[in-house]
Amino acid sequence: MEAFLLVSSFGDIRLWSADTPAGEVNPPSRKNLSILYLGPDAGTSRHRAAALRRMGHDVAIVDPWRSIPRSRLMKKWLHHSGALFLGGFIEKRILAALPAQKFDLVWVDGGGLVSASLVRELKKRFGRVINYNLDDPFGTRDGRKWRHYLTAIPNYDLVVVVRECNVAEAAGRGAKDVLLVSRSADEVAHKRQTLDQSDFPKWSSEVVFVGTWMPERGPFLSRLIELGVPLAIYGDRWDRAAEWPILKQHWRGPGLYIDEEYSKAIQAAKLCIGLLSVGNRDTCTQRSFEVPYLQSVLCAERTSEHLSLYQEDAEAVFWNTAEECAEKCRELLADPVRRAELAARGRARCLRNGTTNEQVLHQILSRTFPQKKEHSLRAKAAASAR
């Protein structure tokens, strides 16, 4: 059994191994933080808030998206204009929704609706304000969606990004401190489900892709189908694809936003395709971490980041073209023993990499509160001297 000694920034030490149950991989904190979590109460944002709670912190969620009317027109305006003319209105609504209590930290997740003025007001009231962004707000895919985020960057105490290219871009925008972290699976939301006989007719598949339609994805998946890959697709907006006449027979339904259903679809698939977002400058995606954590086989585009995360053909499989992907799918579908080995090794590597929420969030808090890290190092030195 491989084991790792984790030294908490709060001065605690715990032995962690690949066999440690989910929810117990985080070092316990000596001081619970009171955190105002300003982010969507949905998706991976909700997973991160829940992980902070599991780590022992008190977390109050205020969802900025609940400060605005819900309509298709409003959604388009926010995406294409970056909440133009709405900054003051949104700020007032968010401030009015804040709990009447003190916080040690304000965690802004995403930040597309959070203006520089609001960040300054939050700093005045509570002190430290940090930002975590899973997207690529410096890229071109989302137009002006990230207008507020980009102007607010100099006001954050820490800007956390998941793409290496974003580090210099954030610094160039005036960030005081930038931290690059890995994307991560969630220890609870992505825990393996117990599948019974009633689950298999609904969720089982030979090869699955779970994700939203993007222009570059339609041609690739339609080519896999032409090459004979028995594909199942879950995700939104696929009817917009020019290849929809080919894809629609393989489309099983919209995106899987219920954690249990998502996990079952991944677990019940023999192979899971991982596609990047070209417009988001991806070199990996959430699936790159969630699929191995769920102990399924990741079959993704070959990138330098994927190759650094998993040993090719031992812990995951990679490809450069649809033809290579189809060939690997055919080989693995005919070899259940190798699939089981790949899945087990991929999960073990995921755990060794520490690419789960509690581990990554611990890195962020350690950077946010460096004085506690110094105390931790002194505690470790004292322990070694005994």
pLDDT higher at 289 or 13: 289
**Model confidence at 382, in pLDDT bands (50, 70, 90)?**
low
Residue 14 is predicted with a pLDDT of 31
When the candidates are 3.40.50.2000, 1.20.1090.10, 3.20.130.10, 3.90.650.10, the CATH number that belongs to 3-186+356-385 is 3.40.50.2000
Evaluate whether 3-186+356-385 and 199-353 have a shared fold: yes
Query: What mean pLDDT do residues 49-69 have?
Result: 94
Q: May I ask the CATH class of domain 199-353?
A: alpha beta
C-alpha distances in Å from residue 86, one per residue of 74, 104, 144, 267: 11, 28, 14, 43
Residue 384 is predicted with a pLDDT of 52
Query: What mean pLDDT do residues 194-219 have?
Result: 95
In Å, the largest CA–CA distance within the chain is 71
pLDDT at residue 88 greater than cutoff 60? yes
Segments making up each domain of the chain, as ranges: 3-186+356-385, 199-353
pTM of the model: 0.87
The number of helix segments (H) and strand segments (E) in the chain equals 16, 14
CA distance 19 to 8: 19
CA distance 369 to 371: 6
**Model confidence at 140, in pLDDT bands (50, 70, 90)?**
confident
**Model confidence at 11, in pLDDT bands (50, 70, 90)?**
very low
pLDDT one-digit tens code per residue, 348-378: 999 999 999 999 999 999 999 986 544 444 4
pLDDT higher at 74 or 12: 74
